[in-house]
């Protein structure tokens, strides 16, 4: 039986692999080279057995096999390991007045265009959940309104399910594309979202159970915003008081995104009966801003 290769052999192996990384794109070379170096360092540090390595390969294969048009298990894996939030953090800087970004998550899909102020809840939750209005303004970082900004909104229902997970919801339920007018204002009628577990019926769920973690995400509304001349933004509106704000399974909560859903009687919104209102202004960074 031969001895395990020593440090010199591992150094030579890594150098050989890194020496094979070529191609015309220097950024690809940088990314692949960095990944190879970190993977080799991981093997040196943890010394996985061949059986453990094969199990890891099988896990990644099954992650890919679980993906569908409406479910991305790889994004879910990235979210659960905090990698998505880390990528978000290194890519979104700007002035202190900007609205913080957050992760997209695995449940985004095309949304139907709707008129401003529309009800986006069209399933059973419309009569079962707590009615709510989400409203605010889209501006630049100095507070100037942005006309023609497009908001892509999606959320779970009152039981924590997205339309792609729930046969009782029509396609496009709790989703909307909204376009602001000259004042930059937006608003839509919905139901208060619920905290929910991420899908645990696939390999990512197996991983969470193996490392003793819960799968819960705090209640939130997703919003992507685009406006001419400004950086696009993907963010969340988190419901204040949710018990999982401090332990979000996706590590995506930022204090500035936590918003009160408060009882309201504001007649502007044309609601019948009691409802909650959440005000969330969105400030976008101009393209070319060096901050």
Q: What is the per-residue pLDDT across 197-245, written as a single tens digit (0 to 9) for each? A: 999 999 999 999 999 999 999 999 999 999 999 999 999 999 999 999 9
Clarify whether residues 132 and 29 are in a common domain: no
- Which residue in 187, 183, 185, 216 sits closest to 199, CA to CA? 216
Check residue 1 and give its pLDDT. Answer: 45
CA distance 236 to 222: 5
> What pLDDT does 289 receive?
84
**pLDDT digit string (tens) for 49-94?**
999 999 999 999 999 999 998 889 999 999 999 999 999 999 998 9
Q: Do 43 and 85 sit in the same domain of this protein?
A: no
- Of 261, 267, 286, 127, the closest CA to residue 194 belongs to 261
Mapping DSSP to helix (H, G, I), strand (E, B) and coil, where does residue 82 land? coil
Query: Within its chain, how far is the Cα of 196 from the centroid?
Result: 14
| Angular region, 148: left φ>0, alpha ψ -120 to 50, beta rest | left
Mean pLDDT along residues 188-192:
98
CA distance 245 to 25: 41
Q: State the chain's mean pLDDT as an integer.
A: 95
151/15 same-domain check: no
Pairing between β-strand 131-140 and β-strand 282-284 as defined by DSSP bridges? parallel
User: In terms of domains, do 41 and 130 share one?
Assistant: no
Domain for residue 198, yes or no? yes
280 domain-assigned? yes
For the chain, how many structural domains are there in total? 2
Q: Is residue 261 part of a domain?
A: yes
- pLDDT over 70 at 5, yes or no: no
Task: Identify the pLDDT of residue 188.
Answer: 98
Instruction: Please check whether residues 4 and 136 belong to one and the same domain.
Output: no
Task: Please report, rounded to a whole number, the percentage of residues in the chain having pLDDT higher than 90.
Answer: 93
Measured distance CA(234)–CA(90) in Å, rounded: 14
d(CA 154, CA 129) in angstroms, rounded, equals: 16
Q: Residue 140: which CATH number?
A: 2.60.130.10
Asked whether the predicted pLDDT for residue 175 surpasses 50, the reply is yes
Q: What count of other Cβ atoms lies within 10 Å of the Cβ of residue 51?
A: 8
Structure tokens at 126: 């419309």
Domain containing 230 equals 78-284
Give per-residue pLDDT as tens, 7-56.
899 999 999 999 999 999 999 999 999 999 999 999 999 999 999 999 99
Please list the residues that pair with 217 across neighbouring strands.
196
8 and 88 share one domain = no
42 alpha-carbon distance from chain centroid: 27
Is residue 34 domain-shared with residue 116, that is, in the same domain?
no
CA 172/CA 274 separation, integer angstroms: 26
* CB of 167 closer than 8 Å to CB of 28: no
pLDDT, mean of residues 272-290: 94
Nearest alpha-carbon partner for 188 in 162, 222, 234, 165: 222
The residue among 88, 81, 87, 90 whose CA lies nearest residue 249 is 81
Which pLDDT does position 4 carry in this prediction? Answer: 59
Query: Residue 230: inside a domain, yes or no?
Result: yes
Q: Is residue 70 part of a domain?
A: no
First vs last Cα of the chain: how many Å apart? 58
Residue 135 maps to a domain: yes
Burial 168-177 (b: 16+ CB within 10 A, else e): ebeebbbbbe
Spell 206-236 as b/e; 16+ CB within 10 A means b: ebbeeeeeebbbbbbbbbbbbbeebbebbbb
């Amino acid at each position: 039986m031969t001895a395990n290769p020593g440090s010199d052999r591992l150094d030579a192996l890594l150098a050989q692999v890194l020496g094979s990384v070529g191609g015309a794109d220097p950024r690809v070379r940088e990314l692949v080279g960095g990944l190879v170096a970190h993977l080799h360092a991981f093997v040196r540090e943890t010394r996985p057995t061949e059986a453990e390595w094969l199990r890891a390969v099988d896990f990644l294969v099954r992650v890919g096999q679980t993906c569908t048009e409406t479910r991305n298990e790889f994004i879910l894996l990235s979210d659960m390991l905090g990698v998505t939030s880390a990528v978000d953090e290194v890519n979104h800087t700007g002035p202190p007045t900007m609205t913080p970004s957050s992760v997209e998550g695995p449940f985004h899909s095309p949304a139907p265009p709707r008129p401003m102020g529309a009800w986006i809840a069209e399933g059973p939750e419309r009569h079962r959940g707590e009615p709510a209005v989400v409203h605010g303004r889209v501006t630049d970082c100095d507070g100037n309104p942005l006309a023609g900004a497009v908001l892509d909104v999606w959320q779970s229902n009152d039981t924590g399910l997205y339309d792609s997970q729930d046969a009782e919801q029509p396609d496009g339920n709790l989703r909307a594309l909204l376009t602001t007018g000259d004042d930059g204002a937006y608003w839509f009628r919905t139901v208060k979202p619920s905290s929910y577990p991420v899908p645990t019926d696939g390999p990512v769920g197996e991983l969470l159970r193996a490392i003793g973690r819960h799968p819960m995400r705090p209640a939130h509304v997703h919003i992507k915003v685009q406006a001419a001349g400004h950086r696009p933004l993907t963010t969340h509106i988190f419901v204040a008081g949710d018990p999982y704000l401090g332990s979000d399974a996706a590590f995506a909560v930022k204090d500035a995104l936590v918003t009160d859903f408060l009882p309201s009687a504001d007649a502007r919104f044309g609601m019948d009966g009691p409802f909650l209102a959440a005000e969330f202004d969105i400030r976008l960074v101009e393209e070319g801003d060096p901050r």
